[in-house]
Amino acid sequence: MTKIQISLTLNGKKVTEEIAPDLLLIDFLRNHRCYSVKRGCETANCGLCTVFLDEKPVLSCSVLAARAHGHTVDTLEGLQEEARELGEFIADQGAEQCGFCNPGMIMNAIALFRENPQPSDEEIKEYLAGNLCRCSGYEGQLRAFRAYLEYKERGGAVCAQ
């Protein structure tokens, strides 16, 4: 096996490392203590391992770390403030039970809101179709995203109940 050197920007920091050619991005990231990146189905179906590669959401279980050379990778650890805010809305709605799907769900929801700041319910469902949650029926998450979008529309003010 011929090791290769890769250099990438991980959560804003430059990382250079020698890796095996078949190392997957998920393993590279977890080796770098990005534990928000969860190992789920490993068949590219569940969305738990979602990270941003050059700001686009991808499944880190299905990308070679070698392919990230020269690119920017962001995980939930790098989006702390944005992720925390959205996570609070998910908690408010009791949308999570075990919480294992949450990091991937939040990453992909952030990607959606960056791409389309005012999505319809159908657009939310379509965009998040690749994020599986085995505890809920997705209604809680949908309520949370609606509430988050309303909050953003009001400039970040929480509506009095």
Chain positions contacting another protein, by CB under 8 A: 1-2, 4, 21-22, 24, 43-45, 47, 50, 53, 56-59, 62-64, 66-67, 69, 108, 111-112, 126-131
State the nearest-atom distance from the C-beta of 135 to another protein, in Å.
18
Half-sphere exposure of 142 (CA within 13 A, CB side): 13
Q: For another protein, give the closer residue by CB, 80 or 116.
A: 116
Those residues whose C-beta lies under 8 Å from the C-beta of residue 156, and which sit 6 or more positions away, are none
- Nearer of residues 15 and 66 to another protein, judged by Cβ: 66
User: Do 74 and 15 form a contact (C-beta atoms < 8 A)?
Assistant: no
Q: Which is nearer to another protein, 22 or 121 (CB)?
A: 22
CB 19, min distance to another protein, A? 9
Q: From the CB of 65, what's the least distance to another protein, in Å?
A: 10
Cβ proximity to another protein: between 10 and 68 the closer is: 68
Of 62 and 92, nearer to another protein (C-beta) is: 62
Contacts of residue 75, defined as CB under 8 A and 6 or more positions apart, other chains included, come to 10, 11, 29, 34, 36, 37, 51, 52, 107
Handedness of CA 76, 44, 114, 147 (dihedral sign): negative
Q: Is 75 exposed, middle or buried (0-12, 13-18, 19+ CB in 10 A)?
A: buried
In whole angstroms, give the CA distance from residue 39 to residue 37: 7
CB of 21 to another protein, least distance (A): 4
Rounded least distance, CB 124 to another protein, Å? 12
Contact between 32 and 87 under an 8 Å Cβ cutoff? The reply is: no
